[in-house]
Structures are given as structure tokens and as C-alpha cells.
Amino acid sequence: MIYLRSALFFPFFVLGIIFFATLICLVWPVTQQPFRQRLAKGWAHYNRLILAAICNLRDSVEGMENLPPPPYVILSKHQSAWETITYLDIFPSFVWALKRELKYVPFFGWALVAVGEIFLDRSHSVEAMKTLLKESRAAFDRGYSLLVFPEGTRVAYGEVGNYQAGGVSVALSCGVPIVPVAHNAGYFWSRRSFLKKPGTIRVRIGKPIPTTGLTPAGRKVLLEQVRETIEGMARELS
């Protein structure tokens, strides 16, 4: 049944991408970014609905009351494709930091450009950091937050990746708080698996970590605090 449910989910998922990406691209020339962001949130909400209806995979979010007024930097655990297709429906408006190659994917990549995501050339780390800082500031000025996966890539459930300082550096430079997030999605839908186990994914939003008054010299200490906070919540959710 798990295999059949997972197989049935796939065409509905693809249809959702085609419908919402095409719609966003069509309205792009005549709408403002907030409207296109709402359409993207609709796509994420649709994904949560079909995961629940087809795969019996739901989610429970703890700690929404910990979210400060925007803008802020969300630093989240990354274990699964689940985060990338649902987070837009869970958190208030934010932009992603994504690899540059995604923007060239027909329709889907164009829709990402239309909703204002940030694209980075990871092969040039210095330039990527400059782009991230510049475009994050612009997003903050528009009232959006930033979401970064500090481990850089999906990490297997129960494992700890190499935490990178990009998101912390943005928060320090812009003087915005950091919101740590953990979950156990990798247990139900692992990073390289087609199968989706039924159950309830638990997401935990931690208390914001302030950056006001800190200097760049404290970046390593702050990154370690973020890592300990996220991994501590992840262990509790396990």
C-alpha cells in the first residue's frame, strides 16, 4: 500500500507543478510579487493536501508563537523533499536561497524567478555570498524573511551535516533574528526515497536567536549555537 500510495501521489504532484507554475508565469507581467507569492503558497497547500489524502502523511507544527515580526532568517534542518514543497504554506512570506541552475528549468524555474527567489552560483562562493547579502537586504526591505538550509543539502534522518555560515552571516549583517527549525520528515520520506510512510511529521520552531549587538567576530559562536539548538530539537523529535 505504501508503494501504491507513493506511486499515485506522483502524477498529482506533477499536475500541481504544471498548473501552479504555468499560472504564475501567465500572471507574472500583470501582477505584483505578493500576489504571485500567494499563488506559490497555494501550491504548497495543495501539496500538503494530497500528501494527507493520498499518502496519509500529515504534519504538525509546534512553536508558531515563537516567530518574531518579520524580517528574520529561518535556518532549518533539511532531510527530505517534503520541506521544499510544503514550507511556503507553513511559514509567513519568505524567499529561498536556491542554486542558480533551478531558474533555467522551464516553467518551474521561471515561476521561481517570478515569486522573487534568490539564486546563487555555488561554484563561486565569494560572489554567491555577496549576492545573498544584497538580495536578502532587498527582500527584508519588502517585508519578506529568508529561509536557508544551513547544512547545504539533504542529510539522512538522524545524521548531522556540515553547518555553513551563510544564513548566520546574513542575519548578523542585517541585524535580524534567527529562527531555528527542526523536524523529522526524513523518517517518513527520506532524502533519496520514492516511498512516503504514513504518519505525522513533526515540525518544531524554536525561540528566535537575537543577533543585534553581535559582531562578525562572533559568527562561529553563533553558528554553533544555531547548530546545537536545531540538532537538540531534532533529537527530541526523534
154: domain CATH number is 3.40.1130
- Position 123 scores a pLDDT of 82
Residues of the chain with pLDDT below 50 are: none
Tens of pLDDT, residue by residue over 7-54, are 999 999 999 999 999 999 999 999 999 999 999 999 999 999 999 999
Q: What are the two backbone dihedrals, phi and then psi, of residue 178, each rounded to the nearest 5 degrees?
A: -105, 135
Range of the domain at 49: 2-237
Q: 155 is written with which cell numbers?
A: 542529510
Q: How many domains does the chain have?
A: 1
pTM > 0.85: yes or no: yes
- Position 178 scores a pLDDT of 98
- Position 215 scores a pLDDT of 80
Q: What are the two backbone dihedrals, phi and then psi, of residue 215, each rounded to the nearest 5 degrees?
A: -105, 160
- Position 135 scores a pLDDT of 96
Q: In what order do the strands lie in the sheet with 178-183?
A: 57-62, 199-205, 178-183, 73-76, 145-148, 94-99, 118-120
